[in-house]
Structure formats: C-alpha cells, structure tokens
C-alpha cells in the first residue's frame, strides 16, 4: 500500500471527511487536489466537531502532513480564519501544513462576479456556494489568474493585481455592477495575508514526489463529488474543478503511475445541494425523514440537502470514470427505520430503458427512475463496527449494492465517530490500507 485517492462517488457530502480522517493514520501525507472553501468536511473526534473547508482533514492527526495542492483555489482570508479556528480548538498548525505555490488565489471580486452571474436574467442559476470558486477558476483557465507564488512576490503581485483589477472594472462597467470595490484596499489586505501565509507556501509537487521516492505514503483527498466534476458531472450544474480521480494527478503534480488505488465514498442513499438534475430524488415524506435522520444540511452554507435513493446507474458511471477499486458506504444507520428501501436500478429516457448517463441537461431532467425495493432491517445499526454484527437484511442491502454496481464494498460507516466504521476483511480496501498483513 502507498498512494490512494479517496473521493466522492455522488454529488459530494458523502462523508469523506470522516473517512479521510480515519485512514490518515495509515499515511504520512494527506493532500487536497481541487476545489476550495466551498467544501465542508465534518469530522467528529469524541464530542468535538471540526468542520474543515480548505485544510485537508489529515491536519487533525499528529505526525501527518497536510498539503493543499496546486489544483485548489485559495481564499487567503478563509484559510487564515480556518487556521485560527483549528488552533483555537487545540490543533497544531505549523510545519505540518504546506500550500502549493501554484495554487490560484480567490479575491473578493470573484464572489461579486459570481453573484452577478447567478442573478442574471435568463441564466439558469447553478445554486453555487457563493465563495468565488467558479470565477477564480475562470481566471486560471483564462491565463490571467494570480497564484500563491505571485502573491508572495511583492514586485509582480502589484502589477498582476492591477491588471486583473482593470479587467474586472471593465466587466463591472459593462454589466452595470453597482457594488463599489476598493481595489487598492484589497491589494493592501492581500499583501498582509501574504506575510501570514508565506512560511507554508512551497513547491508541493516537488515535496510530494520526493516523499514518494523516500517511501512515504500519500492519501489524496477529493472535495465535492464525481457528479460535480467539471467534465464528468451533470454539466452545467457542477463545480468548476476536476473532482474525479484524474484531478488528483493534475491537482498535485503526482503522476498517474504513482497511484496505487482509488476509493469511492458513497452514502447508503444519495443527496445533492444546489440545483440540477437528480433522477432518484425523493420529494415525499421519505425524503424528509432521511434529511432529518441524516442531518442533511450543508456543512458550509447550512442549506437543506435534497435527498433521494441510491442510484445504481450513477454509481456505475462514477465507478467507470474513476476506476474505483473499492467503495465505502456511509450513513447506513440513517436507513434503520425504513420498512422498504427503494434503489434506482435503471433510467427511462423518452420511453427507453437505459443504464447510461445522458450527456445533456435536458435528457438528464427527462430521466424517469426505475426503482426496485429492498427489505429494510428496522433495527439500529448505529455504531456497529463489525460486518458480521450487522442485521442480515443490512448485509443483504450492502451485497445488493455491491453486485449491482460491480464494485466491492470495502467499508461501511454506521455513525460519525471514528470507531463507528467497519473495514471488511479480505477486501481490496484492506490491502490498500496495509491492514491485511496486520490481521486487524
């Protein structure tokens, strides 16, 4: 075992924070590769709740290094605030956090542009997190963005910032954006942020590759989920980064040949925040029950999440584009009280049954889900940490998901705590984590 990618198999919020935190003691480094502070990874350690947005959950493990890769976009104010909150909670942050010098910087005007774009007439709002993520990636791809290294370089920063500010002023005038922006103040403020962040900024691609050569193990932590990936998700209702497994390589500078395993995280059901197609959405009472039992409210925005049933065609699709070696099923306990559990097993589009993921937004919205009901177990699974300890109907449900998706379920989570988890013996996941030889 060595380098493993852990990422969301659905629309994000699959419980990756807990899983990455749990596995991180098997690794030397945890690296984030995309997204920004739009992500919200919740980790419970004892009675303490930590919500991490930008900093990889590995920071909570003493001895583990946390890396924010070049594929991430960083709002320095959010980063500094997160560091302060963590320090306030007793988490040590010093040499254990490294930030890529190639990561792009988010500015306050990115948020304003996003607000303007979401509110524009005749535009379908995406329902973004309003963190300026999309406009920052636009500047990156448009080759006018400002990177961490530029922010730290006083000479070039001023020049680059003023040019970018000029661009934004033209845009604001064109769109008659009224909100005043004090560019000079922002520039001064960012120079102060630079001084605060400077000790942590490094060539993280070099650091990671040297670590690999030295035999260290890296856990790559995805944010959001595959269905929010800019290329493979439900475009345009996606985030602006490469959340799928391929993004781990471009977003850190580690080659695909160095990756040993890819692990998908999925809830035992499914949720989505924001707008966009959602074939297996449950708009009735059952959806409400899941939302209440699963506490399905956004970790960053507090928005209620849309809830629905496990979607097999979607999972098969994300398993293909990511090449999952193993799947982790989280929040099984949320389904404890249900008599029957619907599972979406196929799609019907324009009267034709299919298991393929349509490319267009129109076809995605036209999907009629085909459901199959599975028997519930109607007993508590909360906190069970042995696969054999699960009620037979819960094991049947897991095995059903496994056979339908074609991916092993290597781990099941039955609560937010580290201990409320089981890793299945003999699984590929167990081998990837190096647990098999230890006979855990």
Inter-CA distances, 359 with 82, 122, 238, 364, Å: 37, 22, 13, 7
Q: Does 38 bind ligand IMP (CB under 6 A)?
A: yes
Q: Per-residue string for binding with ligand IMP, 259-298, x by CB under 6 A?
A: --------------xx------------------------
Q: What is the DSSP letter of 281?
A: B
| Size of the residue set binding ligand IMP (CB under 6 A) | 20
Of positions 13, 101, 139, 150, contacts ligand IMP by CB under 6 A: 13
37 is catalytic: no
CB of 118 to ligand IMP, least distance (A): 9
CB of 114 to ligand IMP, least distance (A): 7
CB of 213 to ligand IMP, least distance (A): 32
Choosing from 21, 28, 37, 41, the catalytic residue is 41
Question: Looking at 101-240, which runs of residues are DSSP E strands?
Answer: 104-105, 201-202, 218-221
CB-based burial, 222-253: b 16+ in 10 Å, e otherwise: bbbbbbbbbebbbeebbbbbbbbbbbbbbbbb
Interaction residues for ligand IMP, span 91-150 (CB under 6 A): 126-129, 131, 133-134
Element (DSSP H or E) covering residue 59: none
**Which residue from 330, 424, 425, 340 is spatially nearest to 382, judged by alpha carbons?**
330
Are 132 and 110 contacting, i.e. CB atoms less than 8 angstroms apart? yes
Q: What region, left, alpha or beta, does residue 261 occupy, with left being phi > 0 and alpha being psi -120 to 50 degrees?
A: beta
CB of 35 to ligand IMP, least distance (A): 7
CB of 161 to ligand IMP, least distance (A): 23
DSSP-based three-state secondary structure for 61? coil
Q: Does 10 bind ligand IMP (CB under 6 A)?
A: no
Nearer to ligand IMP, 104 or 424 (CB): 104
Strand 261-267 to 4-8 pairing: parallel
Residue least distant from ligand IMP (Cβ) = 274
Nearer to ligand IMP, 106 or 335 (CB): 106
Choosing from 13, 101, 229, 325, the catalytic residue is 13
CB of 360 to ligand IMP, least distance (A): 18
Of positions 15, 40, 247, 358, contacts ligand IMP by CB under 6 A: 40
Q: Does 330 bind ligand IMP (CB under 6 A)?
A: no
Question: Helices (H), strands (E): how many in the chain?
Answer: 14, 19
**141: burial class by Cβ within 10 Å (0-12, 13-18, 19+)?**
exposed
Phi, then psi, of 357 in degrees rounded to 5: -90, 115
Q: Per-residue string for binding with ligand IMP, 41-60, x by CB under 6 A?
A: --------------------
Cβ neighbours, 10 Å, residue 346:
17
Of positions 39, 197, 394, 409, contacts ligand IMP by CB under 6 A: 39
**Span interacting with ligand IMP, options 37-45, 146-154, 203-211, 409-417, rule CB under 6 A:** 37-45
Strand 352-354 to 340-349 pairing: antiparallel
CB of 237 to ligand IMP, least distance (A): 6
CB of 229 to ligand IMP, least distance (A): 10
Nearer to ligand IMP, 32 or 102 (CB): 32
311 is catalytic: no
Q: Can you tell me the distance from the alpha carbon of 332 to that of 271, in angstroms, rounded to the nearest whole number?
A: 14
Angle subtended at Cα 396 by Cα 392 and Cα 398, rounded to the nearest 5 degrees = 120
Cβ neighbours, 10 Å, residue 376:
17
Q: Per-residue string for binding with ligand IMP, 213-252, x by CB under 6 A?
A: ----------xx---x--------x-xx------------
Q: Can you tell me the distance from the alpha carbon of 373 to that of 355, in angstroms, rounded to the nearest whole number?
A: 18
Nearer to ligand IMP, 38 or 96 (CB): 38
Site for ligand IMP, rule CB under 6 A: 12-13, 38-40, 126-129, 131, 133-134, 223-224, 228, 237, 239-240, 273-274
Q: Which residues are catalytic?
A: 13, 41
């Amino acid at each position: 075992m060595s380098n493993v990618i852990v990422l969301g198999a659905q629309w994000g919020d699959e419980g990756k924070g807990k899983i990455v935190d749990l596995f991180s003691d098997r690794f030397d480094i945890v690296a984030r590769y995309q997204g920004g502070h739009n992500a919200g990874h919740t980790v419970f350690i004892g009675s303490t709740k930590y919500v991490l947005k930008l900093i990889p959950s590995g920071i909570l493990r003493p001895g583990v290094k946390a890396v924010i890769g070049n594929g991430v976009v960083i709002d320095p104010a959010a980063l500094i605030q997160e560091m302060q909150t963590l320090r306030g909670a007793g988490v040590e942050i010093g040499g254990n956090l490294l930030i890529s010098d190639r990561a792009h910087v988010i500015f306050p005007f990115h948020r304003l542009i996003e607000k303007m774009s979401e509110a524009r007439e005749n535009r379908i709002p995406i329902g973004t997190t309003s963190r300026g993520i999309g406009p920052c990636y636009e500047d990156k791809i448009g080759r006018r963005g400002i990177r961490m290294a530029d922010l730290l370089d006083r000479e070039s920063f001023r020049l680059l910032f003023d040019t970018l500010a000029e661009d934004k002023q033209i845009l604001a005038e064109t769109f008659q954006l009224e909100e005043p922006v004090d560019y000079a103040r922002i520039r001064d403020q960012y120079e102060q942020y630079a001084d605060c962040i400077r000790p942590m900024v490094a060539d993280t691609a070099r650091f990671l590759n040297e670590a690999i050569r030295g035999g260290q193990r890296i856990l790559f932590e995805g944010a959001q989920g595959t269905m929010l990936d800019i290329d493979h998700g439900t475009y345009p209702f996606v985030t602006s980064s490469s959340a799928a497994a391929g993004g781990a390589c471009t977003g850190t500078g580690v080659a695909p040949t160095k990756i040993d395993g890819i692990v998908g995280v999925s809830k035992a059901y499914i949720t989505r925040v924001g707008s966009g197609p959602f074939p297996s959405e449950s708009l009735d009472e059952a959806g409400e029950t899941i939302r209440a039992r699963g506490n399905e409210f956004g970790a960053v925005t507090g928005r209620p999440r849309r809830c629905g049933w496990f979607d097999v065609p979607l999972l098969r699709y994300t398993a293909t584009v990511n090449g999952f070696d193993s799947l982790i099923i989280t929040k099984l306990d949320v389904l404890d009280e249900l008599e029957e559990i619907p599972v979406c097993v196929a799609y019907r589009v324009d009267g034709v049954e299919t298991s393929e993921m349509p490319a267009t937004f129109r076809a995605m919205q036209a999907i009629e889900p085909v459901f199959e009901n599975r028997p519930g177990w109607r007993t508590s699974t909360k906190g069970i940490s042995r696969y054999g300890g699960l009620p037979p109907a819960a094991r049947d449900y897991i095995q059903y998901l496994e056979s339908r998706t074609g991916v092993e379920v290597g781990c099941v989570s039955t609560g937010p705590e580290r201990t409320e988890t089981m890793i299945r013996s003999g699984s590929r996941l167990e081998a990837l984590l190096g647990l098999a030889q230890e006979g855990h």
